[in-house]
Amino acid sequence: MRRIHSFLKQRKEAFARVVFLVAACVCVLCVALICIYLFASAIPAIAEIGPLKFLGGRAWHPGVGEFGILPMMVGSLYVTAGAVAFGVPVGLLTAIYLAKFAGKRVARALRPLIALMAGLPSIIYGFLGLVVLAPLLRNLLGSGKSILTASLLLGIMILPTIISVSESAIRAVPAQYYEGALALGASHERSVFFVTVPAAKSGIMAALVLGIGRAVGETMAVIMVAGNQAVLPEGILSGVRTLTANIVLEMGYATDLHREALIATAAVLFVFILLINFLLSLLKRRDVR
Amino acid sequence: MKRGLRIVAATVLLLAVAAGCGKGGGGIYLITREESSGTRSAFITLFGLEIPDEQGRRIDHTLATAEITKDTSVMLMSVAGDPEAIGYVSLGSLSGSVKALKIDGVAPGVAAIRSGAYAVVRPFNIITGSAATSPAAQAFVAFILSAEGQAVVEAAGYVPLAEPSPQGSATAKLTGRVVVGGSSSVTPLMEKLQEAFVEKYPGIEVDVNQSDSTIGVSDAVTGRCDIGMSSRALQPSEIARGARETTIATDGVVVIVSHANPVNDLTKEQVRQIYSGEITAWADVEVGA
């Protein structure tokens, strides 16, 4: 009897192990499939266009066989950098405020709002950008749909991610750090900014990675405020087309090489994200040492 | 901490300088549609922006720095919010939020199109592939072309056919499903036709999917939908793949500006010069009466 019991238990154990393994494999399989599909379609296309012409070409005219995605790469970079420049300081300061300075009532009022911000569909942000931000910037600076508009909008969109992830990172720092600083005579502000926040660095880095990931990948909102011109931007007030916008604008009707060039654009986007994650994990590792 | 502040201050200053370098007001802000749009295709053909090069390829001479949008409503909102913007939409999509320009002194409208005075017109076509369509789809086509269907066309603000065909012989008991897809310009009209048709033939289900003319044609050819919608004439390559077109109405292409723009009247040549970048400032366009 006991034997049967333990045999059943083993069976159950093995079964549970398989279930969990399968669940884990779904993730891996998805990433693997995306990789295989993307690169299997992208590499022949890039080879046909020519890697230099594809990555370094300034002209995107699918109708006459010119597929240069340099303007879109530059566009994605500028817009993302702008979003980080705007979103990270605001988000980080908000997180510090929520974790260490805000009274309970204020925090209780703010947190649901930030959660709501995270849940809003991007098309709503796009609408906000189109109806409020673009006319406002047009009146102030003379150009409504530009890198600046897209950056500001994306900066707003990455706020909830940055705030919630860095707030929990700051909260996770042991209270002894802060108390120790106080005991050494530092003020509340000094303790928070020079002891607690640096100790939360790796969590804040994670917030940065997630924020950048969202900014690079965002499409629907950007497409409504960036102007989508496939030319190299002249300045921060020129319109710009991002890699994601390029795919969405043209995928519907693209055929043959044009279609493959768009898939190759997606592959470049994929490599972009990989690079960003890799660079930041390097940064993080150095910090730990 | 001080160094951090300095970096932030420097970034803000740099941004401000970059913003100051931007173009001032007074320039014309061009908005166009994506390349596969039937409205864009009709627009560049009608205004002479499409010129064949030495090799016979038809090159679109729309300025590359023109904003590109995929959506009629984004076009309307962008133009309404920017006194320097110019754009174009289908006559049926025109709303009071923007000002329709007279072309060569003629205001767009159903009467002006019917009399031939307003010449910036294009056909609304339905596309069928070479394969035989279902009885339900045939009944829908017959309904659209009948006097009854053409009355719907007129009520929707488009110009109906000169000679509607006699009512088809299909019985009201017919059942089935018809999938219609394509041009976003034809979609609003098709939805009204569908409502009137389904009322008469309750057994038939009609799905209208909005995309663009090029997708509508290719879906009709591949059989992904029964009837394609297109707001431009078929291209030779599409006819070679077996697409056939039937005109169901005539639509005007309307050039629009914001109500805040003093210009009321442009010549066809001026529109061409504006969209090809030969005229870049509103001051260079004589303000019409």
Residues of B in Cβ contact (< 8 Å) with A193: 1
**C-alpha A77 chain-centroid distance:** 12
- The residue ranking higher by pLDDT, B212 or A268, is A268
Tell me whether residues B81 and A134 touch, CB distance under 8 A.
Answer: yes
Write out the H or E segment, with its range, that includes residue B192.
Answer: helix B187-200
pLDDT tens, residue by residue, A126-148:
999 988 888 888 888 877 788 99
CATH number at residue B62: 3.40.190.10
Do the interacting molecules here have an ipTM over 0.95? no
With a CB-CB cutoff of 8 Å, which residues 15-44 of chain B face chain A? 15, 18-19, 21-25, 29, 34-36
- The boundaries of the domain holding residue B47 are 25-122+253-284
What is A71-288's CATH number, 1.10.3720.10, 2.40.128.110, 3.40.50.720, 1.10.40.30?
Answer: 1.10.3720.10
- Residue B49 CB contacts under 8 Å (≥ 6 apart), including other chains: B43, B60, B61, B62, B272, B275, B276
Tell me whether residues A144 and B35 touch, CB distance under 8 A.
Answer: no
Average pLDDT in chain B: 82
pTM over 0.95: no
pLDDT tens, residue by residue, A212-242:
988 988 888 998 888 888 888 888 888 889 9
Q: Assess whether B62 and B109 both reside in one domain.
A: yes
Q: How many Cβ atoms are within 10 Å of B188's Cβ, its own excluded?
A: 17
pLDDT for residue B1: 53
Q: Do B255 and B271 form a contact (C-beta atoms < 8 A)?
A: yes
Tokens of A226: 């960036």
Q: Assess whether B98 and B127 both reside in one domain.
A: no
pLDDT tens, residue by residue, B234-254:
888 888 888 888 899 988 889
Please enumerate residues of A whose Cβ is less than 8 A from a Cβ of B.
Answer: 62-64, 85, 89, 130-131, 134-135, 138, 141-145, 148, 193-194, 223-224, 227-231, 235-239, 241, 248-250, 252-253, 255
pLDDT tens, residue by residue, B169-185:
666 777 888 999 988 88
Counted domains in chain B:
2
Biggest alpha carbon distance in chain B? 85
Q: Do B73 and B62 form a contact (C-beta atoms < 8 A)?
A: no
pLDDT for residue A169: 93
pLDDT for residue B168: 62
Q: How confident is the model at residue B24 (pLDDT cuts 50, 70, 90)?
A: very low
Q: Does the pLDDT value for residue A164 go beyond 90?
A: yes
For chain A, the domains span 2-56, 71-288
Q: Assess whether B239 and B279 both reside in one domain.
A: no
Distance CA(B9)–CA(B19), nearest Å, equals 15
In order of B23, B44, B101, B285, the CA distances from B281 in angstroms are: 12, 20, 17, 7
pLDDT for residue A210: 87
Q: Does the pLDDT value for residue B22 go beyond 50?
A: no
pLDDT tens, residue by residue, A11-35:
888 899 999 999 999 989 998 998 8
- The residue ranking higher by pLDDT, B40 or A159, is A159
pLDDT for residue B170: 63
Tell me whether residues B65 and A239 touch, CB distance under 8 A.
Answer: yes
What integer is the mean pLDDT of B194-210? 89
Distance CA(B214)–CA(B274), nearest Å, equals 26
What integer is the mean pLDDT of B193-216? 88
In chain B, the percentage of residues whose pLDDT exceeds 70 is 87
pLDDT tens, residue by residue, A33-83:
988 988 998 898 888 888 888 888 888 888 777 888 899 999 999 999 999
Chain A interface disruption, residue of B69, B183, B214, most A CBs within 10 A? B69
Q: Assess whether B97 and B128 both reside in one domain.
A: no
pLDDT for residue B19: 47
What integer is the mean pLDDT of B214-226? 88
Within-domain flag for B11: no
Q: Do B260 and B81 form a contact (C-beta atoms < 8 A)?
A: no
